[in-house]
Amino acid sequence: MFHGNKVIDVHGHHSTPAQFRAYAYNMIALRTPVGSSLQIPEKAMEEAQARHLAMMDERNVEVQFISPRPVAMMHWEMPHIVDHWTAVTNDVIHQTCEMYPDRFVGVAQLPQVGIDYANDTTGCLAEFERTVSELGFVAATVNPDPGGDRRVPGMNDPYWFPLYRKSSELQAPLIVHASISRDPRITIIPHSYQYNFMTEQALATQLLEHSDVFDRFPDLKVLVCHCGGALSRFIPRAQSSGIAGGGQVGIGNQGMAAHENEQRTWADNLFFDTCAYDKDYLATAMKHKGIDQMCFGTESPGSGTGVLNPDTGRPADDMLPVIDSIEFLTDDDKRKLVNDNALKVFPLFKG
């Protein structure tokens, strides 16, 4: 609980026993699915969740949405491997949610593949339907660059429209979370996949904000992880006093189309989580995005678990003390962040 409010964490990834990782290794080594399904004993699952649940308790989180770990989604593999691995992953997430129905809520992996194997997202629809209709999941994870090679069209492109249509139909939002990148330029960066999260999620945010996606799909809801990837350095058009005065030196604004300089808010459609471990960054994101557009998310246990926050003396992914210390947040703001907004964004989740 947080100031008397039930805490809903919309950004978690499932914890799995050794059997899950061994199954994945064998499947990749053999280049073929291993058997028809993965059967994990309940005791092994309980042991795998014990630490996860303990960390939730330590962080005062009552409920967490759990999705696949992004670096293990294998979207860059061949379709027959991706299809099987996606179904296995979703079944294991479902098993976890069935064991702890008051603590975990399922978010699906989708069988996304690189551009060489699919011209659009139609191949994701059957599994999306299964996870929502049969497994009770409330959303699906979307990788904006499944091939890891930046060749799939941007999220404003008709490539994505079948998925947007199905998401609207199911009332199951899409959670944008990038994965690994094959870009050789970033290999020198430690944990370069984290950098890829930032760039791909920031690009997805911009493409959704500046396109007609939500005009086409007014019931679509999209949440972009990690505060939307990156902050904009520009002043929103509505707040800028320099628009009428004419742009850069020697360059007027007459030739700039309105949509190039306008950033629509899409208050009913585009949302973000709070998963940024730097207090100043998080506070600025809240000001830029707006409290009503943000849901509490920690990605715990994950990359922030082993990092100490010097201000709180707690692990970086223990984020309630950080949110509590942001001076401009009112009690009403805090309630929206940790509880109300999740109920608004995810209609299939009943709290």
Mean pLDDT of 276-282: 94
Mean pLDDT of 220-224: 99
Is the pLDDT at 250 greater than 70? The verdict is: no
Which of 293, 259, 257 has the alpha carbon at shortest distance from 274?
293
- Rounded CA gap, 322 and 319, in Å? 5
Mean pLDDT of 280-287: 96
Mean pLDDT of 76-84: 93
pLDDT at 120: 97
Q: Which of 9-13, 115-119, 134-138, 264-268 has the lowest mean pLDDT?
A: 264-268
Is the pLDDT at 144 greater than 60? The verdict is: yes
Q: For tokens 């964004």, what's the residue? A: 345
In a domain? residue 56: yes
Q: Is 106 helix (H, G, I), strand (E, B) or coil?
A: strand
Burial of 128 (0-12, 13-18, 19+ CB in 10 A): buried
- Provide the domain limits for residue 114: 8-234+259-345
Is the pLDDT at 240 greater than 50? The verdict is: no
Backbone angles phi and psi of 299, in degrees to 5:
60, 40
Is the pLDDT at 32 greater than 90? The verdict is: no
Burial 177-198 (b: 16+ CB within 10 A, else e): bbbbbeeeeeeeeeeebeebbe
What is the C-alpha radius of gyration for the chain, rounded to an integer number of angstroms? Answer: 20
User: Which helix (H) or strand (E) covers residue 66, if one does?
Assistant: strand 63-67
Mean pLDDT of 58-62: 97
24: CATH:
3.20.20.140
In a domain? residue 248: no
pLDDT at 261: 44
Burial of 330 (0-12, 13-18, 19+ CB in 10 A): exposed
Mean pLDDT of 63-73: 95
Is the pLDDT at 262 greater than 60? The verdict is: no
- Rounded CA gap, 134 and 97, in Å? 13
Is the pLDDT at 243 greater than 60? The verdict is: no
- Rounded CA gap, 204 and 189, in Å? 22
pLDDT tens-digit profile of 6-16? 999 999 999 99
In a domain? residue 242: no
In a domain? residue 64: yes
In a domain? residue 2: no
Q: Is 177 helix (H, G, I), strand (E, B) or coil?
A: coil
- Token pair for 249: 């030196």
Q: Are 7 and 61 in contact (CB under 8 A)?
A: yes
In a domain? residue 268: yes
In a domain? residue 247: no
- What is the DSSP secondary-structure string of 291-339? GGGEE-----SSTTTTSEETTTTEETT--HHHHHT-TT--HHHHHIIII
User: Which helix (H) or strand (E) covers residue 167, if one does?
Assistant: helix 161-170
Mean pLDDT of 326-348: 98
- Rounded CA gap, 343 and 334, in Å? 14
Mean pLDDT of 155-184: 97
Mean pLDDT of 203-210: 95
Mean pLDDT of 282-307: 90
Cα three-residue angle 255-258-262, rounded to 5 degrees: 130
Residue 242: pLDDT band with limits 50, 70, 90: very low
Mean pLDDT of 32-47: 86
Tell me how many domains the chain contains.
Answer: 1
- Rounded CA gap, 345 and 173, in Å? 7
Residue 244: pLDDT band with limits 50, 70, 90: very low
Return the sign of the alpha-carbon dihedral for residues 231, 313, 292, 221.
Answer: positive
Q: Are 223 and 173 in contact (CB under 8 A)?
A: yes
- Token pair for 344: 């608004």
Residue 351: pLDDT band with limits 50, 70, 90: confident
CB atoms within 10 A of CB 91: 17
Mean pLDDT of 294-298: 97
In a domain? residue 162: yes
Mean pLDDT of all residues belonging to the chain: 90
Mean pLDDT of 142-150: 94
